[in-house]
Amino acid sequence: MLSCNSKPSSESGQTETGLKIGKGKYAIKSGLVEYKTQVMGMEATQTMCFDDYGAKENQDVAMEVMGFKVHTITVMKDGFSYNYDPDKKTGTKTSLTGRNDNIDFENLTEEIQKEMKIEKIGSEKFLDKNCTKFSINNEKLRMKGSYLVWKGIPLKTDVDLGGMKMLLEATKITENADVPAEKFVIPADIKFQE
């Protein structure tokens, strides 16, 4: 995850590019977003919830691959990502530092935009929300596509990752949702590889 503690360049909390610097990864304290996803023609459902402006985040993905049900949960907090299968009781724990697979749109600086090859290309309405449209064309990451972002939350992601097409579309969003604290608790019976 791209966690950038960028500082605003002026007292107004605006960066040089005019993008607003928020309190955290998201501009609202908590939320619940339901997505439908297509990866390489396979459909999946994904639920993402967060609290404390994105300092704590939970992503729950369920899909069927060649007749097998796959269920993974990713909890991001305290600088780490815990990705695990709740049925198999196995997972991986990785540091969020230096990761660039999840962009912090709320805190993009001009420097990060240049480095990641991200451009603000306009605005578009999606789910009755006024979204900022971003494009990405990063040859190093083999990533090309676009994002519709509202308050730091990607509501639509349409990207090609090294030849793998991925379309993620929000179907429902609940602002300032009451997210249970247990959503961010890592089960004690999961065996993590670090």
> What digits encode the pLDDT tens for the residues 148-184?
999 999 999 999 998 899 999 999 999 999 999 999 9
Q: pLDDT by residue (tens digit) across 106-131?
A: 999 999 899 999 999 999 999 999 99
Residue 172 belongs to a domain: yes
Q: What is the pLDDT of residue 11?
A: 33
Q: Is the pLDDT of residue 8 over 80?
A: no
Work out the burial of residue 162: count CB atoms within 10 Å of its CB; fewer than 13 is exposed, 13-18 middle, 19 or more buried. Answer: exposed
Domain-embedded: residue 9: no
Structural domain boundaries, residue 85: 31-177
Q: Is residue 129 part of a domain?
A: yes
* pLDDT tens digits along 10-57: 333 433 334 444 479 999 999 999 999 998 878 999 999 999 999 999
Flag whether 108 is in a domain: yes
Position 3 in a domain: no
Does some domain include residue 79? yes
What is residue 59's predicted lDDT score, i.e. its pLDDT?
97
Average pLDDT, the chain: 87
The first and second tokens of residue 190, run together, are 């999961």
User: For position 97, which CATH number holds?
Assistant: 2.50.20.10
Quote the number of domains for the chain.
1
pTM, whole model, 2 decimals? 0.83
Buried b (16+ CB within 10 A) or exposed e, 124-134: eebeebebbbb
- Is 194 domain-assigned? no
Query: pLDDT by residue (tens digit) across 47-85?
Result: 999 999 999 999 999 998 878 889 999 999 999 999 999
**Structural domain includes residue 128:** yes
